[in-house]
Structures are given as C-alpha cells and as structure tokens.
Amino acid sequence: MNQRKDRAARLRAQIPEAGFPRGAGVASAATFVLLLLIAAFTALYLSTAGPLSLIRANDAAGRVPDEVTAGQQRTTAGLAQSVATSATAAAGDLQVAAGSGVFDTADDTALLTRLGETYEDWRGVVVYDPAAQKVLATRGEPVPVETLRGVAVANLTVRPVARPGDTPLVLTALPLTGARAGKLLVVSTALRGTTGDLDKDSQQQVRLVTADGALLHTHGADIAATDRPAQELLARAATAAAAGQSGVLTGDAVSEKGPRGVSTERAPLVSYAPVTPSSIGGSLGLSVVSFSRFPVEAVPARWPGLIPAAALLALAVAGFVLLRRAVVAPIRRLRTDALAVAAGELGKPVRPSRIREVNRVTTAMERYRSKLRRRKPAPKVRPFVSAQLVIVLVALALLGWSGAVAATLGRQHADVSPTMLSEHGVRVTRSADTLRRSLAEGLTDLQAVARLGKGKEPDQLRGMLDRLADTESRFRSVYVADADGAVRLLAGRESLRDPVKLPEGEGLRQHNTSGRVPIVYAFTPLPDSKNVLVGEYDVPRMAELLGSAGGRVRVVDEGKRTIADTEGYLAFSALTDPALIKNVDAAQSGKDARETTPGALVAAQRVADKGNAAALKWVVVAEQPIGSLGVADNTVRSGARVAALLTAVVALMLFAWHLLVVVRPLRRVGEEASRIAAGETGAVVYPQRQDEIGTIASCVEICRQALTDGRDRLGEVRRPTGAATDETELLQKIVDEPEPAPEPKPKPQSPPRPRAARPRPQTPPRIPARTPEEKAKSDYLSWLDGAGV
C-alpha cells in the first residue's frame, strides 16, 4: 500500500502545475474578490452625503453645491480676463497709432489733439519728460504721472492707479523715438471689467487687489470689518492670487434671518484669479477677488446603495459557492482519481460526477481501470447539468443586478436648487455682455484707424491694418474695400465676404445665413474717400469669450441658426431642442429666459438691446447638463451607473474566463479520453496546459500507454529502458539512451595538390524518408515538452 502511495506521489511530482492565473479555481476566486470590491464601492459611494460623510462634520451641516463653487471660479476668471483686456486696450491703440505716421509731427500739442480726437475714450494724454519730471504737453483730464517717478520705462508699460471712491485708472506709457527720444507719451484710461450687474441675493462683492495686498477697487455689497471669518478668507485669497494662483475658498455656514424672519444657513465663498494680460509682456500685479454668500444645501446622510450592495454580496457568495461545488470541486476530484489510476492504484473505482464535461472523463477513466484489471466497470451515472450552464446562470444573475441598478438608482432625477439656476443665468448674462463689448470694441478700433487715416491713400494704412489683423486680434482679416465692395488692400487672412456693395454708414453685420463659415464683419467709411474699412471677425475666437458661462454655449441669430458654439458645430445648424427654442424666443422678446429641464439648466440672453450690436439680433443660449453638477442625488446616479457597468464587465469576464480556461480544455480532454476508451489508442494525448486539466490529460496519456504496453507503464511519466518489443518501448529506449561521446578529431594534414579535372554537375543529396521509429520518437518528444518534463 505504501509503495502504491509512493508511486502516486512520485507521479504527481513529475507533472507540474503553474500558479496564477492558471488553475480551475482561479477564475471564480478572482471574480469573487472583484465583486466584493464593487459591493463595498456601492455601499460607501452611493450616498447623498458622500463616502466620507461619516468623518466630515461639514456635510452633516450642509455645504455649498459644487457647481456653484465651480461657476464662481469661472466667473472670476472671466472678470480677470475682462480687466486684462480693458487694461491693455490703450496699449493696443498706441501700437496701431505708431504705424499711422501720427508721431511724425514735431508739434506736441497737435499730436495730442490728433490722438485725443481719434481715441475718445482716453481720459487724458500727456507728453512727459521723466528726466526733468516735467509735463511738456497735455490734453484732457490731468494724468497722475507722478506714479511713474522712479520707474524705468524702456518698453510699452501699463500701470494701474487707484482713485479713492472712483473707478481706478490705467496709465499706459510709450517711450518716444526720434526728436522726442527720452520722453514718454502717457495715456490714462478708466479700468473697466469689474463693474456690471451683480447677484444681490448672494451679497456679491468684487475686489481688485494689488500684488502687495492693497485694495485698489471694490464693487458690490459691503463687507463689515468686524466680520473676521470673511476678512480672513479675503486675505488668504489675495495672497494666493498674488502668487499667480486661482481657486475657491469656502467658510463655515452661519444662520441669517431673511426679510420674512425665516432663518437660512449661508456660507461665505471667495474665488480669486490673477490678471494676466497676453497682449503685453509681464504682469499687471493685479488680482480679482470675488466674495459671495450662498445658501448651503443640507445633505442628509442617506445610503441608497446599502440594499444593492447587500444583494450583490449575496449574489457573489452564492455564485462563488455554486461554481466551487459544481465546477471546481468535480474537476479536482477527477484529478485525484486520475492520478490514482495512472499511478497504478486500480482497486478503487473512479468517482462519477453529475457534471456533463467531467462525467465524460470519469467514465473513460473507469473503463481504463476496468480494462487494466480485466474486470467489469462500475455502473454509469447519468450527468445532470453542464458546467457551461452553471457559468451562464451565474453571469446572468450578475447582469440582472447590473440592469436593475442602472434602471433604478441610475435613472433617478436630481433636484436642482434655485441658487444654481440663478447663478447659471448670471453667468450667461455676463457672457453675452462680454461678446457685445468685444464686437463694439472691434468697430471702435476700425473707427480709430479711419480717423488716423484721414487724407491718406489706402497703401499708407498698411501698418495699422497689419496690427489690427495680427495673430491675437479679434479680426481674422482687415481690408479696405471700394464702393463696389471689392478688396483693395488686405491684411490677415483671405476675405470670405462676397465682393458686393457694403451698406451705408457704419456698424456690424452678419453677411450670410448659410455656407461653410459664418461671416460677421464691422465696417466704417474712410473720411474723404469712397472706400470703406472692413474687419471680419474670427468666429472661433468669438466662441472663446463664452466659456465662462459653463456647459455648452451657443450664439444663434434671428432665425435660430448657430453662429458660434463652444463645443464645435456645423455652421448655421438650427436649434432642435424644444427647451432651447423656448428660451431663445423668450430672450428675443425681452423676457426672463431661465429654465430647469430634466437633463440640464437652460438660460438665454440677448447680446444687445441697443447700439451697433443690436442690429445682429443675436441671442446667447447655454445649457449646463445636470450630470456635471455637484448635486447629491446626481452623485448617487453617477455612482450607480459606474457600479452597474463594473459588475457587467465582471460578469462577462467570469463567463469568458471559465469558458476559455475550464470548459473548452475539459471538453477537449473528454473527447480524447472517450476516443481511447473506444479502442483508438494510436494518437498521443498532449496536456497543453499546466493546471488541473493538464494533469488529467497527462494521466489519460499514461493510461493510453498502459493499455497499449501493459500495466508496467503505470506510475511514471518517463519509462525505464528495456528491450524494445514495440514502437513505444523503442522510442523510450532512444530517448533514455545517453548521447555518444564525440570522437577525437584527426590531426590536420596538408591537403594533396588538386589535379586539374573537368567539373562534374552536382546533384542534390537525397533526404532519406523518416522511419516509423523516428516519427514516433518526434511525437513522443513533443508530448514530453507539452507535459513540461
């Protein structure tokens, strides 16, 4: 008995089995662990208060919605960009004027008069001698040039100046050349961009802060100096913005009484962004800091993911147990019995199985055992179920859980607070105002060039046109057109407008309502000439001005055709969403256009009610998907969809892994085993795998050899050498024979001198045919390689 056990142990040691990811039980164990992780994710993350609500006290008291904080950050960044554009407007004007020849005059008073008449929004302009600290000529309001004392102005320089109780000024200093070398032309303009409508309900205040923390300008509601938490947040924001950073800070919520005596919880929110102009080098040393108070949303700690997580945990445990008992355990039991038979333990029958794929191999192994003992085999057991069916049932149960979670928690409606809708509408209004100002400033630039070009030929305007159409301009092309609309002088890219007669006067126009690209242009006549100065706007750059509104923002014309879009579009594509069409109609009629739909926040605003931009009759419409808002219920919905998707992937992986690693290899071994049991013992059975099924295949091959050569072949993968009485024994002898020692090489001798002879045609050597012994040897060596021996 001990000898038989030793033979079985020795045989088991000769057949290797690799570790992970091989093995009949690895697939079920790996998928079980993954399902446990998904169940934990479902239980913790599918919470209205978030996965960390148990350790974060702020969530229990409530918090400002994430979309509100993100919207405030976008708004502040847009304000900072508006301030930068306003601060560098005079610098751009001076660069355009430099190419007009206006500085050729030697009369300072005449120079300032010409510049003042051209740029009407300049508050004051002076010629200043920094060495003598003396103003040589002046026009308009007094310019505080004393702020430039001690400042080395080598290039075009922009410097903000505070004015108590009024809008701050921006001084733009241009070093002069030629006869005025060493002197400066200094222009003062009002700094715009921080003014405009603010949200009174949120007690909003916008601050302009210098790099050293000094307050340059405020606009909006007052903040009490005794409000220590608010003042600390503002100080932290100013310090971070001075370092070139942008972000949002939120304070603790405080109970406030409303106009009707109703107490509400409000939290201070401060967003900040540095002012970084791109048209000039360096920084202005300014930052925009926005302060607001928003109602916090109480987030009760609800855990809608607990029940789905418990159901998934139950399915994972049930599926794991079922796969182990119905698939893995029968295969491992078969491996034990197959090793016993292959080792020569023929007294104990092979245990049958109710699994069809396993039963086919157990029936064959029992027939091998009975033939080797020359006795009748044990009675057959009819299989009950297929292993593949068990795997399909487990996978379908997991897919059913995924579908149920996706259809319930994954589709629930998220409620949006009025604060979010109001904040979204304010951002859309500001985006429309930004677009209006950009269009109007483009026309103003053309009018300035037209004034500076009075009495000049079109060719003499080349320098100014090139400056207007440079790479950072709002125009894609600027040109001089004649009375018939034909281009005479072009700067920038090729004109897209058809050469037709331009309208009378000056203003803004939309040239087409169909085609590849929308063509929008500003035009103004050149004085004392029949020519017209035209600037075609760059539509993609126009769309960049709308990004601060958030979501997808579109500009549509009177026919609801798309002119610009922040997310890419087909030119002049018509609106199809009924909610967008409804709000555009309301905006065009001057009504409030804000709405919350089941899927998005929608707001619309006319670009202009009066002025040159009103002729375009454009409307800015924006839709913010609720899926991108930081709403508690929406977070649960997103988490449910993720959990459902992950579980579906694991279910498909479970089915594919078991099918490829367990079911199909087991069926192949069953086919080979049944063939041998039927008497076809001529072909070798190769293991092909280093796992339990590979071990079973090796045992089937050993039994095949035993049925052919006798019971002495049981118990060993390698056969002992002996008299070769048949093909298999001969091959074993050939394999086990040691290679002969190499013969000693003969000493080299000088070759005899070749005799001259006629060359003979060379015939290719004949390749002898492989004998049956050589063919059998090759097959057997291949089997040994497959067994890993």
Alpha carbon distances (Å) from 282 to 158, 211, 273, 278, 290:
10, 13, 16, 9, 23
pLDDT tens column, 631-641: 656 677 778 88
Helix or strand holding residue 333 (H, E): helix 329-342
Rounded average pLDDT over 369-374: 81
Instruction: Specify the higher pLDDT residue, 631 or 357.
Output: 357
Alpha carbon distances (Å) from 40 to 71, 399, 517:
32, 18, 52
Residues in a beta bridge with 480:
489, 533
In this prediction, residue 634 carries a pLDDT of 67
In CATH terms, 86-190 corresponds, of 3.40.720, 3.30.1480, 1.10.10, 3.30.450, to: 3.30.450
In this prediction, residue 691 carries a pLDDT of 83
Q: What is the CATH number of domain 418-628?
A: 3.30.450
pLDDT tens column, 376-401: 766 677 777 899 999 999 999 999 99
Residue 226 has pLDDT above 50, yes or no: yes
Closest CA to 536 of 504, 568, 498, 588: 498
Question: Which residues 6+ apart lie within 8 Å of 656 measured at CB?
Answer: none
Amino acid in position 559: G
In this prediction, residue 509 carries a pLDDT of 94
Helix or strand holding residue 111 (H, E): helix 108-118
Q: Residue 18 and residue 15: Cα distance in Å, rounded?
A: 10
Q: Residue 240 and residue 591: Cα distance in Å, rounded?
A: 40
Q: 253, 296 in Cβ contact below 8 A? A: yes
Amino acid in position 635: T
Q: 339, 649 in Cβ contact below 8 A? A: no
pTM (predicted TM-score): 0.65
**Top-ranked range on mean pLDDT: pick from 84-98, 286-300, 508-522:** 508-522
Amino acid in position 368: Y
Give the chain's length. 789
For residue 285, count other CB atoms closer than 10 A to its CB.
15
For residue 252, count other CB atoms closer than 10 A to its CB.
11
Amino acid in position 341: V
Q: Residue 234 and residue 14: Cα distance in Å, rounded?
A: 76
Rounded mean pLDDT of the chain? Answer: 81
Terminal CA-to-CA distance of the chain, rounded, Å?
Answer: 27
pLDDT class of 627 with cuts at 50, 70, 90: low
Amino acid in position 464: M
CA 129 to chain centroid, in Å, comes to 55
In this prediction, residue 314 carries a pLDDT of 95
pLDDT class of 770 with cuts at 50, 70, 90: low
CA 579 to chain centroid, in Å, comes to 28
pLDDT class of 731 with cuts at 50, 70, 90: very low
Q: Residue 366 and residue 369: Cα distance in Å, rounded?
A: 5
- DSSP letter at 612? G
* Tokens coding 173: 């200093």
Closest CA to 656 of 338, 426, 388: 388
Residue 410 has pLDDT above 90, yes or no: no
Residues in a beta bridge with 478:
491, 535
Q: Residue 543 and residue 566: Cα distance in Å, rounded?
A: 6
In this prediction, residue 746 carries a pLDDT of 52
**Secondary structure (3-state) at 720:** coil
In this prediction, residue 616 carries a pLDDT of 93
The 3-state secondary structure of 508-575 reads EEECCCCCCCCCEEEEEECCCCCCEEEEEECHHHHHHCCHHHCCEEEEECCCCEEEEECCCCCCCCEC
* Percent of the chain predicted with pLDDT > 70: 80
Residue 712 has pLDDT above 70, yes or no: yes
- DSSP letter at 297? B
Closest CA to 565 of 593, 580, 546: 546
Instruction: Specify the higher pLDDT residue, 344 or 351.
Output: 351
For residue 614, count other CB atoms closer than 10 A to its CB.
15
Question: Which residues 6+ apart lie within 8 Å of 483 measured at CB?
Answer: 501, 530, 531, 532
Closest CA to 464 of 476, 450, 481, 475: 450
Rounded average pLDDT over 229-246: 88
In this prediction, residue 222 carries a pLDDT of 83
Q: 172, 186 in Cβ contact below 8 A? A: yes
- Helix 329-342 / helix 692-709 crossing angle, nearest 10 deg: 30
State the burial class of residue 543 (Cβ atoms within 10 Å of its Cβ: 0-12, 13-18, 19+).
Answer: buried
Rounded average pLDDT over 33-58: 73
Q: Residue 104 and residue 110: Cα distance in Å, rounded?
A: 11
Q: 152, 97 in Cβ contact below 8 A? A: no
In this prediction, residue 211 carries a pLDDT of 83
Q: Residue 86 and residue 91: Cα distance in Å, rounded?
A: 10
Torsion sign across C-alpha atoms 205, 210, 214, 217: negative
**Secondary structure (3-state) at 359:** helix
The values of phi and psi at residue 237, to 5°, are -65, -40
The DSSP result for 277-302, as a single string, is -SSSSS---EEEEEEEEEEPBP----
Rounded average pLDDT over 24-49: 88
Q: 296, 266 in Cβ contact below 8 A? A: yes
- DSSP letter at 46? S
Closest CA to 344 of 600, 69, 638, 1: 1
State the burial class of residue 17 (Cβ atoms within 10 Å of its Cβ: 0-12, 13-18, 19+).
Answer: middle
Instruction: Specify the higher pLDDT residue, 54 or 219.
Output: 219
Closest CA to 248 of 74, 78, 69, 75: 69
pLDDT tens column, 645-699: 999 999 999 999 999 989 999 999 988 888 888 888 878 888 877 888 888 888 8
Catalogue the E-assigned strands of 316-425. none
pLDDT tens column, 280-308: 655 678 889 999 888 776 655 567 888 89
Rounded average pLDDT over 449-472: 84
Amino acid in position 135: V
Helix or strand holding residue 479 (H, E): strand 475-481
**Residue spans per domain, the chain:** 2-43+306-408+648-707, 86-190, 194-295, 418-628
Vertex 362, ends 361 and 363: CA angle to 5°? 90
State the burial class of residue 295 (Cβ atoms within 10 Å of its Cβ: 0-12, 13-18, 19+).
Answer: buried
Alpha carbon distances (Å) from 100 to 103, 173, 429, 442:
8, 18, 37, 18
Q: Residue 548 and residue 74: Cα distance in Å, rounded?
A: 5
In CATH terms, 194-295 corresponds, of 3.30.450, 1.10.3470, 1.10.1760, 1.10.10, to: 3.30.450
Residue 549 has pLDDT above 70, yes or no: yes
Q: Residue 369 and residue 377: Cα distance in Å, rounded?
A: 8
Amino acid in position 613: A
Cis peptide bond N-terminal to 540, omega within 30 = no
Question: Which residues 6+ apart lie within 8 Å of 16 measured at CB?
Answer: 690, 788
Can 194-295 and 418-628 be said to share one CATH topology? yes
* Tokens coding 171: 């001084």
Q: 594, 621 in Cβ contact below 8 A? A: no
pLDDT tens column, 310-336: 999 999 999 999 999 999 999 999 888
* Percent of the chain predicted with pLDDT > 90: 28
Question: Which residues 6+ apart lie within 8 Å of 106 measured at CB?
Answer: 179
Q: 231, 263 in Cβ contact below 8 A? A: no
In this prediction, residue 690 carries a pLDDT of 80
Q: Residue 348 and residue 331: Cα distance in Å, rounded?
A: 18
pLDDT tens column, 111-152: 899 898 888 889 999 999 988 889 999 999 999 988 888 788
Q: 628, 551 in Cβ contact below 8 A? A: yes
Q: 709, 717 in Cβ contact below 8 A? A: no
In this prediction, residue 726 carries a pLDDT of 44
In this prediction, residue 262 carries a pLDDT of 58
In this prediction, residue 58 carries a pLDDT of 44
Q: Residue 617 and residue 789: Cα distance in Å, rounded?
A: 84
pLDDT tens column, 17-33: 776 777 888 999 999 99
State the burial class of residue 155 (Cβ atoms within 10 Å of its Cβ: 0-12, 13-18, 19+).
Answer: exposed
In this prediction, residue 692 carries a pLDDT of 86
